[in-house]
Protein backbone atom coordinates (compact mmCIF):
# COMPACT_ATOMS: atom_id res chain seq x y z
CA UNK A 1 0.00 0.00 0.00
CA UNK A 2 1.31 3.45 -0.89
CA UNK A 3 0.97 6.44 1.37
CA UNK A 4 -0.58 9.72 0.27
CA UNK A 5 1.03 12.40 2.40
CA UNK A 6 0.26 16.10 2.71
CA UNK A 7 3.36 18.29 2.61
CA UNK A 8 3.76 22.06 3.09
CA UNK A 9 6.26 23.01 0.41
CA UNK A 10 9.18 25.26 1.37
CA UNK A 11 8.15 28.10 3.71
CA UNK A 12 5.39 29.51 1.52
CA UNK A 13 2.62 27.44 3.08
CA UNK A 14 1.42 25.85 -0.18
CA UNK A 15 0.40 22.24 0.38
CA UNK A 16 0.55 19.27 -1.98
CA UNK A 17 -0.04 15.54 -1.77
CA UNK A 18 2.99 13.33 -2.38
CA UNK A 19 3.41 9.58 -2.35
CA UNK A 20 5.81 7.54 -0.28
CA UNK A 21 6.11 3.77 -0.16
CA UNK A 22 8.78 2.94 2.39
CA UNK A 23 9.35 6.03 4.53
CA UNK A 24 7.91 6.12 8.04
CA UNK A 25 7.32 9.89 8.28
CA UNK A 26 5.75 11.84 11.10
CA UNK A 27 4.02 15.19 11.31
CA UNK A 28 6.54 18.05 11.34
CA UNK A 29 9.31 16.04 9.63
CA UNK A 30 11.28 17.82 6.88
CA UNK A 31 11.52 15.85 3.64
CA UNK A 32 13.08 16.18 0.20
CA UNK A 33 10.58 15.83 -2.65
CA UNK A 34 10.28 15.82 -6.42
CA UNK A 35 8.72 19.08 -7.57
CA UNK A 36 8.52 21.14 -10.74
CA UNK A 37 11.43 19.61 -12.70
CA UNK A 38 13.76 19.51 -9.72
CA UNK A 39 14.26 18.86 -6.02
CA UNK A 40 12.53 20.78 -3.29
CA UNK A 41 11.90 20.50 0.43
CA UNK A 42 8.83 20.58 2.61
CA UNK A 43 7.38 19.71 5.99
CA UNK A 44 4.95 16.87 6.69
CA UNK A 45 1.52 18.24 7.62
CA UNK A 46 -0.59 15.10 7.65
CA UNK A 47 0.58 11.53 6.94
CA UNK A 48 -2.47 9.56 5.75
CA UNK A 49 -2.55 5.94 4.60
CA UNK A 50 -4.46 5.69 1.33
CA UNK A 51 -4.38 3.56 -1.80
CA UNK A 52 -3.70 5.87 -4.68
CA UNK A 53 -6.53 5.56 -7.19
CA UNK A 54 -6.52 6.14 -10.92
CA UNK A 55 -8.83 9.16 -10.75
CA UNK A 56 -5.99 11.65 -10.27
CA UNK A 57 -5.42 13.76 -13.39
CA UNK A 58 -1.66 13.71 -12.86
CA UNK A 59 0.53 11.09 -11.17
CA UNK A 60 1.62 12.23 -7.71
CA UNK A 61 5.29 13.07 -7.28
CA UNK A 62 7.38 11.26 -4.69
CA UNK A 63 8.87 11.99 -1.32
CA UNK A 64 12.48 10.97 -1.97
CA UNK A 65 13.91 10.94 1.55
CA UNK A 66 13.72 12.39 5.01
CA UNK A 67 15.90 15.51 5.23
CA UNK A 68 19.40 14.83 6.56
CA UNK A 69 21.46 17.25 8.63
CA UNK A 70 23.26 18.24 5.42
CA UNK A 71 19.89 18.92 3.77
CA UNK A 72 18.73 21.03 6.71
CA UNK A 73 21.95 23.05 6.53
CA UNK A 74 21.34 23.69 2.82
CA UNK A 75 17.74 24.73 3.53
CA UNK A 76 19.01 27.31 6.02
CA UNK A 77 21.61 28.55 3.52
CA UNK A 78 18.85 28.88 0.92
CA UNK A 79 16.86 31.07 3.30
CA UNK A 80 19.84 33.39 3.69
CA UNK A 81 20.38 33.51 -0.08
CA UNK A 82 16.68 34.26 -0.53
CA UNK A 83 17.05 37.38 1.62
CA UNK A 84 19.85 38.59 -0.66
CA UNK A 85 17.69 37.82 -3.72
CA UNK A 86 14.83 39.76 -2.13
CA UNK A 87 17.01 42.88 -1.79
CA UNK A 88 18.29 42.60 -5.36
CA UNK A 89 14.77 42.18 -6.72
CA UNK A 90 13.53 45.31 -4.90
CA UNK A 91 16.32 47.34 -6.55
CA UNK A 92 15.35 46.01 -9.98
CA UNK A 93 11.67 46.75 -9.35
CA UNK A 94 12.63 50.36 -8.59
CA UNK A 95 14.78 50.55 -11.72
CA UNK A 96 11.88 49.37 -13.89
CA UNK A 97 9.43 51.65 -12.01
CA UNK A 98 6.94 48.83 -11.50
CA UNK A 99 3.95 49.31 -9.20
CA UNK A 100 4.36 46.13 -7.22
CA UNK A 101 5.18 45.26 -3.62
CA UNK A 102 7.60 42.40 -3.09
CA UNK A 103 6.54 40.15 -0.21
CA UNK A 104 8.95 37.22 -0.16
CA UNK A 105 11.61 35.36 -2.11
CA UNK A 106 12.23 31.60 -1.93
CA UNK A 107 14.81 29.26 -3.42
CA UNK A 108 13.94 25.72 -4.42
CA UNK A 109 16.02 23.14 -2.55
CA UNK A 110 18.38 22.53 -5.49
CA UNK A 111 18.63 26.31 -6.20
CA UNK A 112 17.54 25.89 -9.81
CA UNK A 113 14.54 28.20 -9.27
CA UNK A 114 13.70 31.35 -7.30
CA UNK A 115 10.10 32.31 -6.60
CA UNK A 116 9.27 35.95 -5.89
CA UNK A 117 5.86 36.66 -4.32
CA UNK A 118 4.38 40.11 -4.82
CA UNK A 119 1.17 42.10 -4.54
CA UNK A 120 0.00 44.72 -7.02
CA UNK A 121 -3.22 46.66 -7.68
CA UNK A 122 -3.29 45.55 -11.33
CA UNK A 123 -1.65 43.12 -13.72
CA UNK A 124 2.06 43.81 -14.15
CA UNK A 125 4.21 43.38 -17.26
CA UNK A 126 7.34 42.04 -15.55
CA UNK A 127 9.00 40.35 -18.54
CA UNK A 128 12.03 42.66 -18.52
CA UNK A 129 12.34 42.27 -14.76
CA UNK A 130 12.44 38.48 -15.13
CA UNK A 131 15.17 38.75 -17.79
CA UNK A 132 17.31 40.91 -15.50
CA UNK A 133 16.83 38.60 -12.51
CA UNK A 134 17.68 35.52 -14.60
CA UNK A 135 20.96 37.15 -15.66
CA UNK A 136 21.85 37.95 -12.06
CA UNK A 137 20.99 34.62 -10.44
CA UNK A 138 21.49 32.15 -13.34
CA UNK A 139 18.34 30.33 -12.30
CA UNK A 140 14.71 30.00 -13.40
CA UNK A 141 12.69 32.93 -12.15
CA UNK A 142 9.03 32.79 -11.18
CA UNK A 143 7.13 35.92 -10.18
CA UNK A 144 3.87 35.02 -8.47
CA UNK A 145 1.20 37.65 -7.80
CA UNK A 146 -0.72 37.00 -4.58
CA UNK A 147 -3.64 38.57 -2.71
CA UNK A 148 -3.70 40.32 0.65
CA UNK A 149 -4.78 37.16 2.48
CA UNK A 150 -1.83 35.25 0.98
CA UNK A 151 0.47 38.10 2.02
CA UNK A 152 -0.69 37.82 5.64
CA UNK A 153 -0.14 34.06 5.49
CA UNK A 154 3.43 34.48 4.24
CA UNK A 155 4.41 37.26 6.65
CA UNK A 156 2.56 35.91 9.68
CA UNK A 157 1.70 37.77 12.88
CA UNK A 158 -0.81 37.72 15.72
CA UNK A 159 -4.53 38.35 15.58
CA UNK A 160 -6.67 40.34 18.02
CA UNK A 161 -7.18 37.10 19.98
CA UNK A 162 -3.46 37.12 20.85
CA UNK A 163 -2.76 33.90 18.92
CA UNK A 164 -0.72 33.31 15.78
CA UNK A 165 -2.69 33.97 12.59
CA UNK A 166 -4.77 30.94 11.60
CA UNK A 167 -3.69 31.28 7.96
CA UNK A 168 -0.01 31.17 8.92
CA UNK A 169 -0.38 28.42 11.51
CA UNK A 170 -2.64 25.71 10.12
CA UNK A 171 -5.09 26.74 7.36
CA UNK A 172 -4.30 25.02 4.07
CA UNK A 173 -6.75 26.90 1.83
CA UNK A 174 -8.72 30.13 1.98
CA UNK A 175 -12.47 29.67 2.11
CA UNK A 176 -14.97 32.47 1.40
CA UNK A 177 -15.95 34.37 4.55
CA UNK A 178 -19.20 36.34 4.56
CA UNK A 179 -20.76 39.00 6.75
CA UNK A 180 -23.63 36.55 7.36
CA UNK A 181 -21.25 34.39 9.38
CA UNK A 182 -20.45 37.32 11.68
CA UNK A 183 -24.18 37.98 12.13
CA UNK A 184 -24.90 34.32 12.94
CA UNK A 185 -22.15 34.37 15.56
CA UNK A 186 -23.72 37.40 17.22
CA UNK A 187 -20.78 39.72 16.58
CA UNK A 188 -21.10 43.48 16.29
CA UNK A 189 -20.62 44.39 12.64
CA UNK A 190 -17.76 46.77 13.31
CA UNK A 191 -15.20 46.28 10.48
CA UNK A 192 -12.06 46.76 12.65
CA UNK A 193 -13.39 44.20 15.14
CA UNK A 194 -14.17 41.44 12.64
CA UNK A 195 -11.30 42.00 10.17
CA UNK A 196 -7.91 40.33 10.22
CA UNK A 197 -4.50 41.90 9.66
CA UNK A 198 -5.07 41.53 5.92
CA UNK A 199 -8.11 43.82 6.09
CA UNK A 200 -10.52 41.03 5.10
CA UNK A 201 -13.05 39.27 7.32
CA UNK A 202 -11.28 37.01 9.80
CA UNK A 203 -10.75 33.41 8.67
CA UNK A 204 -11.91 32.08 12.04
CA UNK A 205 -15.45 33.23 11.21
CA UNK A 206 -15.54 30.48 8.58
CA UNK A 207 -14.35 27.47 10.55
CA UNK A 208 -16.29 28.52 13.67
CA UNK A 209 -19.51 29.05 11.72
CA UNK A 210 -20.74 25.44 11.66
CA UNK A 211 -20.15 25.10 15.41
CA UNK A 212 -22.22 28.22 16.10
CA UNK A 213 -24.98 26.97 13.82
CA UNK A 214 -25.12 23.65 15.68
CA UNK A 215 -25.03 25.19 19.16
CA UNK A 216 -27.65 27.79 18.20
CA UNK A 217 -30.32 25.22 17.31
CA UNK A 218 -33.41 25.76 19.42
CA UNK A 219 -32.18 29.03 20.91
CA UNK A 220 -34.08 32.33 20.50
CA UNK A 221 -32.48 35.31 18.78
CA UNK A 222 -31.42 38.48 20.57
CA UNK A 223 -34.24 41.03 20.42
CA UNK A 224 -36.89 38.38 19.79
CA UNK A 225 -40.13 38.47 21.82
CA UNK A 226 -41.02 35.07 23.26
CA UNK A 227 -43.45 33.33 25.62
CA UNK A 228 -42.03 31.40 28.57
CA UNK A 229 -43.82 29.92 31.64
CA UNK A 230 -43.09 33.12 33.60
CA UNK A 231 -44.81 35.23 30.94
CA UNK A 232 -44.04 37.26 27.82
CA UNK A 233 -40.62 38.80 27.43
CA UNK A 234 -37.85 40.08 25.20
CA UNK A 235 -34.53 38.29 24.66
CA UNK A 236 -31.73 40.56 25.88
CA UNK A 237 -28.77 38.25 25.26
CA UNK A 238 -27.95 34.67 24.26
CA UNK A 239 -24.96 32.54 25.27
CA UNK A 240 -24.68 29.80 22.65
CA UNK A 241 -21.95 27.91 24.52
CA UNK A 242 -23.85 27.70 27.81
CA UNK A 243 -27.15 27.49 25.85
CA UNK A 244 -28.79 30.12 28.02
CA UNK A 245 -30.78 33.27 27.26
CA UNK A 246 -31.46 36.33 29.42
CA UNK A 247 -35.11 37.40 29.14
CA UNK A 248 -36.63 40.67 30.26
CA UNK A 249 -40.28 40.14 31.26
CA UNK A 250 -43.02 42.72 30.75
CA UNK A 251 -42.95 43.54 34.48
CA UNK A 252 -39.25 44.47 34.23
CA UNK A 253 -37.82 41.32 35.82
CA UNK A 254 -34.85 39.67 34.14
CA UNK A 255 -34.46 35.91 34.29
CA UNK A 256 -32.05 33.39 32.77
CA UNK A 257 -33.55 30.52 30.80
CA UNK A 258 -31.58 27.29 30.35
CA UNK A 259 -32.03 25.29 27.17
CA UNK A 260 -31.31 21.61 26.57
CA UNK A 261 -27.71 20.87 25.61
CA UNK A 262 -27.09 19.62 22.07
The second-level CATH assignment, the architecture, of 73-146 is 2-Layer Sandwich (3.30)
Give tens-digit pLDDT for 45-66.
766 544 444 444 567 788 889 9
Q: Is the pLDDT of residue 70 over 90?
A: yes
Residue among 159, 157, 158, 145 nearest 201 (CA) = 159
pLDDT band, residue 249 (cuts 50/70/90)? very high
* Radius of gyration of the chain from its Cα atoms, rounded to whole angstroms: 25
Q: Looking at residue 52, what is its pLDDT? A: 43
Instruction: Give the pLDDT mean for 76-86.
Output: 95
**What is the chain's mean pLDDT, rounded?**
86
Give tens-digit pLDDT for 157-186.
888 888 888 887 777 678 889 898 888 887
Give tens-digit pLDDT for 1-45.
556 788 888 887 677 888 876 777 788 889 999 887 788 998 887
| Residue 210 main-chain phi, psi, to 5 deg | -65, -35
| Residue 235 main-chain phi, psi, to 5 deg | -75, 115
Q: Looking at residue 88, what is its pLDDT? A: 95
CB 140 within 8 A of CB 112: yes
3-state secondary structure 205-220: HHHHHHHHHHHCCCCC
The DSSP element (H or E) to which 145 belongs, if any, is strand 140-145
Q: CA 23 to CA 2: how far, in whole Å?
A: 10
Q: Looking at residue 55, what is its pLDDT? A: 45
CB atoms closer than 10 angstroms to residue 250: 11
Q: Is the pLDDT of residue 221 over 50?
A: yes
Higher pLDDT: 192 or 46? It is: 192
CB atoms closer than 10 angstroms to residue 106: 23
Q: CA 170 to CA 165: how far, in whole Å?
A: 9
Listed in order, the ranges of the chain carrying CATH 3.30.300 are: 73-146
Q: CA 100 to CA 129: how far, in whole Å?
A: 12
Instruction: Give the pLDDT mean for 205-225.
Output: 89
Q: Is the pLDDT of residue 93 over 60?
A: yes
Instruction: Report the half-sphere exposure of 177 (CA within 13 A, side-chain side).
Output: 20
Q: CA 251 to CA 62: how far, in whole Å?
A: 71
Q: Is the pTM of this model over 0.95?
A: no
Q: Is the pLDDT of residue 129 over 90?
A: yes
Amino acid sequence: MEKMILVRLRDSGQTYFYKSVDLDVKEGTYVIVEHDRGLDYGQIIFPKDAILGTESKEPLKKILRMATQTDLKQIEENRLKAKEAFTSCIKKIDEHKLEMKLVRAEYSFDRTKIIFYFTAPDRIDFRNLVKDLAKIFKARIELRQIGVRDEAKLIGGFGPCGRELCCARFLKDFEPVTIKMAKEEGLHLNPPKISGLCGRLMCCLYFEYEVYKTLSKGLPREGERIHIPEGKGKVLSVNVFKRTATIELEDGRQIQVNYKPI
